Amino acid sequence: MHEQVHAVQLSFERVAAGGVLPTGVEVVNASFALPFCPPSCFNAVWNELYGALACGGWFAGQLFGERDDWAVVRPQSHYSRAETLALLQSVGAGYEVISFEEVEKDGSDGMGGSKHHHVFHVVARKR
């Protein structure tokens, strides 16, 4: 039987260096990971994820918006709606955006503190 899921756990810096991700994959699920990528290697990581996907492969993940409370902590890791949509077209032939949901709400962080959330939930297909 063929392996259906291949989980890869690497540092952002290692992914940015290139050559470590499998190629021709059908799905990249980067749920709530990319907002924590160091800005210095974000573009390289973004390009590596795109390169790992087969044509027609799916990307699912989140990016934080510029009105998220954590934007003051890591301002280079937060994007406007326009910047996020442009990012989806910045690699290769770009992505066909299947679902793009912007959520802005007050809630809590992972440790129970209060936090204003501004998140873009993305599902896209590699062209």
Domain of 65, CATH number, reads 3.40.50.150
CB 5 within 8 A of CB 22: no
pTM above 0.75, yes or no: yes
Residue numbers of the domain that contains 114: 26-126
In a domain, 15, yes or no: no
In a 3-state reduction of DSSP, which class is residue 88? Answer: coil
The one-digit pLDDT tens for each residue of the chain (127 residues) are 566 787 878 999 999 999 999 999 999 999 999 999 999 999 999 999 999 999 999 999 999 999 999 999 887 889 999 999 999 999 999 999 999 999 999 999 989 999 999 999 999 999 9
pLDDT of amino acid 5? 80
In a domain, 3, yes or no: no
Domain count across the chain: 1
pLDDT of amino acid 3? 67
pLDDT of amino acid 7? 81
In a domain, 16, yes or no: no
d(CA 111, CA 39): 24
pLDDT of amino acid 2? 60
- DSSP code per residue over 12-77: HHHHHH-S-S-SSEEEEEETTTGGGS-GGGHHHHHHHHHHHEEEEEEEEEEEEETTSGGGGTSGGG
